[in-house]
C-alpha cells in the first residue's frame, strides 16, 4: 500500500524565516502530489498541486519541487498565518495512506 512520510513532524521558526518540509512516497508517484495548509480549527486549504503548481490565490512565498518519491515544500518568508500544520497528499491512487502524517510549523 502506498504510504507518505513527512519530515520533520514539528519545526520551530520565526516570522520571516525560510522553512522546508519533505515528503517521501513509498514508491514512485511521478508528480502527482499536493500540499495543504491547515490552520487550527479550520479546514485544510490547497496550496500546491502536481508537485509545484501553485493553487489559485496562493502567494508566491510557497513553492514545491520534486518528483518520483521525494518532494519538498518551501515557505520563503514565514508570515503569521503560516504557523500551521502542512500535509502532503499523493493522488496517484486512492488509499488510506493518501496523506502524510503532517508537519507542524510552530513559533520559536
Partner 1 sequence: EVLLVESGGGLVKSGGSLRLSCAASGFAFSTYGMNWVRQAPGKGLEWVSFISTSSTYIYYAESVKGRFTISRDNAKNSLYLQMSSLRADDTAVYYCARGLTIVGAAYFDHWGQGSLVTVSS
- Residues forming contacts to partner 1 in the complex (CB under 8 A) are 30, 32, 34, 36, 38, 42-46, 49-50, 55, 87, 89-96, 98-102
The minimum distance between CB 25 and partner 1, in angstroms, equals 13
Kindly tell me which of 68 and 102 has the beta carbon lying closer to partner 1.
102
Question: Least CB distance from residue 16 to partner 1, whole Å?
Answer: 28
Complex with partner 1: residue 74 or 91, whichever CB lies closer: 91
CB 4 within 8 A of CB 21: no
- Nearest distance in Å: CB 56, partner 1: 8
Q: How far is CA 72 from CA 27, 40, 42, in A?
A: 16, 22, 23
Question: Residue 37: which of 93, 78, 92 has the closest Cα?
Answer: 78
**Cβ distance to partner 1 smaller for residue 36 or 62:** 36
Under 8 Å CB-to-CB from 56, ≥6 apart: which residues? none
Amino acid at each position: 500500500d502506498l504510504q507518505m512520510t513527512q519530515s520533520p513532524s514539528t519545526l520551530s521558526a520565526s516570522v520571516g524565516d525560510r522553512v522546508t518540509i519533505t515528503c517521501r512516497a513509498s514508491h514512485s508517484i511521478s508528480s502527482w502530489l499536493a500540499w495543504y495548509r491547515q490552520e487550527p480549527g479550520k479546514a485544510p486549504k490547497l496550496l500546491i498541486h502536481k508537485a509545484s503548481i501553485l493553487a489559485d490565490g496562493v502567494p508566491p512565498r510557497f513553492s514545491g519541487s520534486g518528483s518520483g518519491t521525494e518532494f519538498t515544500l518551501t515557505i520563503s518568508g514565514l508570515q503569521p498565518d503560516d504557523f500551521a500544520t502542512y500535509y502532503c497528499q499523493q493522488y496517484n491512487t486512492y488509499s488510506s495512506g493518501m496523506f502524510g502524517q503532517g508537519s507542524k510549523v510552530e513559533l520559536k
